[in-house]
Amino acid sequence: MSETYKEDGVNIEVGDDFSSAAGKMCKGTFNNSAFVKVADFAEGNFRGPRGFKLVNLPEDHYLEAAPDGVGTKVVLIDSAFSHRQAMQDVIAMTASDITRWGGKPLVFVNVLDVATLGEADSETNKLFKQMVYGLGKIAKDQEFVCFRGETAELGSCVGSDNDNALTKFNIAGFMVGAYLPDRMITGKTLKPGQVVVTLKENGFRSNGISSVRKAFKMQFGEDWWNNPDAQEPIRAAATPSVLYDKFLTRANGWNDGNIVNPLFKMHLVTHVSGGGIVDKFFGDMLKPLGLSAHLDNLFAPPQIMRCVSNWRNIPTKECYQTFNGGNGMIVVLDKIDVNDFIAVAKIYGIEAQACGEITKESEPTLSIRDKFGLDDGIDILEYT
């Protein structure tokens, strides 16, 4: 081991141990998907070569790669000690950008940049390993392969609001997935009279976190992470993202290595991420088609989201442009499919409800019945 390099902030021995643990986790996921065949040429070397190919797919399939990260939610994760579930956020941000178009997330690769991995068996080191083990569990449940990852100790180049944070890190990655031309969900079949269904989200996902951090600072002081009164709200704000991908891909006919008929005709699936329902559902998808929507039965935002909006003094109309409002995915269906769709979602542990209708107005308009309840007298919010 290089003592000089260790003095300079990089512990090769600890890094090798961490990479070995991550490599074992990855290897344990190689058989997760019937659509992916992994060849391990490493002969026991966790850094050795490996390759993958897609199987059981029609020749006309196309590949997609969706990159993203969790932004500054890492500060909340550290403060809440929610590392075991932390990778749900990066999976939500990458996999959902494939699922929303009708594709199937298959292979995940990530990059973890840290200030330090800590000494062997330190609390810092144990928490980072919890992230790795948690990712393995998520991959098994959601049926994708963790192909590779990269971890780097970058010292002061990775920071935090909290100078004394046990884990200073950034996490990002990309998901490789497949599309089939005959089951893409692009919104081209949208028309008035179709029903909008929302899938419940219990937290912030990974969007609007800069405003969350500012709200905590305003409510609990400069060192909010040390304020005893902030601990329960911090844990609520760090709630990991709900993963909808297994349900939605099965609903679209991706079934255990077989391609079968979709259970439902989904005319649109919107991942409610940065920009909220206003940008992602209306601005990106409906407005260019000259369509409108009236959403009068969205899920209410979780209490912590209401608190943050209040502490930060965010105008009610901006709340649906900043946060998901308790709605992680928006799906548009024919009326005949709505009840069955909601019932199947429940089987996968996902709460869903009809929340509105696609309409045609003289000018494209999104109207939302407010569920934040921050401004007295405001009921219907309109966006054009």
Q: Could you tell me the domains of the chain? A: 1-99+104-179 (3.30.1330.10), 182-384 (3.90.650.10)
The CA distances from residue 300 to 200, 216, 237, 297, 376, in Å, are: 9, 21, 16, 9, 16
Q: Give the pLDDT confidence score for residue 257 in this predicted structure.
A: 82
Residue 131 exposed, middle or buried by CB count within 10 Å (0-12, 13-18, 19+): buried
* Highest-pLDDT range among 9-13, 48-52, 148-152: 148-152
Residues 55-75: pLDDT tens digits? 999 999 999 999 999 999 999
Q: Give the pLDDT confidence score for residue 11 in this predicted structure.
A: 59
**45 has pLDDT over 90:** no
Q: Give the pLDDT confidence score for residue 3 in this predicted structure.
A: 58
Please state which of the ranges 195-199, 245-249, 315-319 shows the lowest mean pLDDT: 315-319
**pTM of the predicted protein model:** 0.94
% residues pLDDT > 70 (the chain):
95
**What is the spatial distance between Cα 273 and Cα 322, in angstroms, rounded to a whole number?**
9
Residue 245 near residue 99 (C-beta atoms within 8 A): yes
Q: Give the pLDDT confidence score for residue 8 in this predicted structure.
A: 45
Q: Is 249 helix (H, G, I), strand (E, B) or coil?
A: helix
- Would you give the DSSP letter of residue 283? I
Residue 193 near residue 358 (C-beta atoms within 8 A): yes
The CA distances from residue 340 to 85, 294, 299, 335, in Å, are: 30, 22, 19, 10
Q: How confident is the model at residue 250 (pLDDT cuts 50, 70, 90)?
A: very high
Q: Give the pLDDT confidence score for residue 373 in this predicted structure.
A: 84
Q: What is the mean pLDDT of residues 204-222?
A: 97
Q: How confident is the model at residue 10 (pLDDT cuts 50, 70, 90)?
A: low
Cα 150 from chain centre: 20
Q: Give the pLDDT confidence score for residue 9 in this predicted structure.
A: 55
Q: What is the mean pLDDT of the chain?
A: 94
Token pair for residue 68? 């993203």
Q: What is the mean pLDDT of residues 126-137?
A: 96
**5 has pLDDT over 50:** no
Q: What angle do CA 154, 159, 164 make, to 5 degrees?
A: 110
**What is the spatial distance between Cα 134 and Cα 227, in angstroms, rounded to a whole number?**
28
**1 has pLDDT over 70:** no
Beta bridge partners, 196, equal 332, 356
Q: How confident is the model at residue 377 (pLDDT cuts 50, 70, 90)?
A: low
**88 has pLDDT over 60:** yes
